[in-house]
Structure 1
Amino acid sequence: MSDALLTVRGLTKSFAGADGELPVLSGIDLTVRDGEIVALLGKSGSGKSTLLRCLAGLIPPTEGSVAYRGEVLTGENPGTAMVFQTFALLPWLTVQQNVEVGLEARGMRAAPRRAAASQAIDLIGLDGFESAYPKELSGGMRQRVGFARALVVEPDVLLMDEPFSALDVLTAENLRGELLELWESGDFPTRAIVLVTHNIEEAVLMADRIVVLGARSGALRAEYAVPLDRPRDRDAPGFAALIDRIYRTMTGRGDDVRGPLPPLGREPAAPTAAP
C-alpha cells in the first residue's frame, strides 16, 4: 500500500491580471508521504502559499491535479487542516468555541465535540484558558488556539502557512520546539506536516525534506533531504553548511537540482541534462 498522502502532478496555477493570465505555479510535481515534515521554502511571491491552498483544495489548479490518498480533489481536501499566519480566530467566540468550530461544521454532537476540543486544548498547552476570548490572549496563545482548532479534526496532513512569522523570536522558538516534541512523541494527531516558510533556518530545524520554489518561475528549483537527527542542534556539524547550500540555491548561486541532498561536506552534483 502506498505511503503517499498527497500527490501533485503537473500542477500549474495562473490568475487573471491586467495584462492577461499571470502564472504563479508551473509544472509542480510533489508527493507528501506518511510520517514526514515537508517545508515549502521560497521568497515572497514564489507561489508557496498558493501551492498550500491547492493542497487544501481551497483553490483549483489551472492545469494538473492534486490527489489525496489516490483520489483527485474536486473540492476541499477532507484529509487536511490549515494553520494560518494571522491566527484567523473568531473574536466573539471563546477559546473552547473557536476550537469546536470545525467539529460543529462537520455535524458532531455537542458532548463529544466539547470533549474533543478540551483534549486538543490540553495537548497544545492552553488548559485553563477555555473561557478566554482572543483579545485576552497573547500572540503566542492565539496561535496555539489556531493549532488546537486544526488538530482537533485529526487531519492526515497539517498544512501550516508561515505559522510562526507573526510571533516574536522567543515565542516562535518555544512554539516550534513544543510542536516538534509533540510530533516526536507520537501524540500528534496527524500523519504528515507541510510547512510554508521563507526562513531557511526554520526549514532546516523542522523539516525532513525541503522543497525550494523559484522566485519568478513558479517551479520547483531544488529538493533536499535533511540528514540531521532530532532534536536539531544549530551547532551540529553540517547544520550551517546545509543552510548555506540552500541559501545559494535560493539566490541563484547554487545548483538547481531536484533530488536527495548529497552527504554533508560534498557539493551537489551538476544537474543532469534532459534526455
Structure 2
Amino acid sequence: MKQKLIYILGAGRSGTTILDIVLGNCSDSISLGEINRFFKRNGIAPKREIDSKEYVFWDKIKGTFDKNLEGDYSRFKKAFDKNEYHTHFLKPLLFGSDKFYQNTLIKQYESIAEHTKDKKVLIESSKYPARALNVSSALKDKMEVGYVYLKKDPVKVVSSFGKKGLEQPAKPFLASNLYYFTINVFCYLTVWKLRKRGHNVVVLKYEDLIAEPLRVLDRIGSRLGIEVEAAKDKIKDDEALDTGYLFDGNRIRLKDNIVLQRDLKKVDRKGSAYYFTRVFNYLIYR
C-alpha cells in the first residue's frame, strides 16, 4: 500500500504548523513540518539538541539521502529556490520543472519514506504553492497526495507580520498586504490546477479549525481518506497534542506537545489599516 502525503499550503503565519500538528496526531500519521527547507539547513533540523528524537530522526534521513544522491547541498538549494520560490510560481503552473530538481525532490521523499515505513500518512506544511504543484508531478506514481489549503483572517496575518523575532521575517504593512494577497492568488490557481489533475483538495479557514476543530477534522478525514478519531479524542479531552518530528516551521515545533487553543483573539482596534486590509483581501478570504 502506498503512503499518503497530506500537503498543507497557504501564506506564512496562517496556522499551517498548527494544522500539521493536529493532523499528525491522527492514527498512523506523522508531522514533518516544512521540509522544503531541508537543503537550506543542510539536512540538519535547526535548533535541536543532537540527542533529541527529532535530530536523530532527520539525521538518519539525511544519511539515506546522501547515499541515494551525492552532491553539494548548495546546488540542491539553488535548484529548489528556482523551482519552488514564489517568484518562479508560473514555471510549475505552466511548464513544469527541470529534471535535476524533480529527481532531487523524488530522492528527498524516498529518503523520508525509508524511515517512516510504520506510518500510513505523512503530513507536510511546506506551504509553498509552487512546491505543491511539483510534488503532484514528482510523486504521482509513488505516493497518494492530498492537499489542504489553509487561509487565515488577513487582518491577523498582517498584524503578525508586524511582530519581530519570529521565524519568518517581519514585513511592513503594505508589503504584508501585498504578500498575503499574492500568495493566496497563487494558492487559488494551485488548487484549480491540482483539482484538474484529480487531487482531493480541502479549502478551509484557520478560524474554523480553532472554533470547530472536530467538524473540520471530520471534513478533512472524509475528503482525504484519513482516520481522524485519535486527534478528535485528544481535542475533546483537552489532551496535549504531540508535535511530532517537525523539521522546520513555527517556533511551537520546539515544544514536545501543545494543547489546541479554542479561543480566537479579537482585534482591538479597527482603524484605517484594519479596513484597508479587509477590503484589499476581501475576495480571496471570503
Q: State the TM-score, normalizing by the size of structure 1.
A: 0.37
Which one has the largest radius of gyration?
Answer: 1
| Higher RCO structure (Cα 8 Å, ≥6 apart) | 2
Structure that is richer in strand per residue: 1
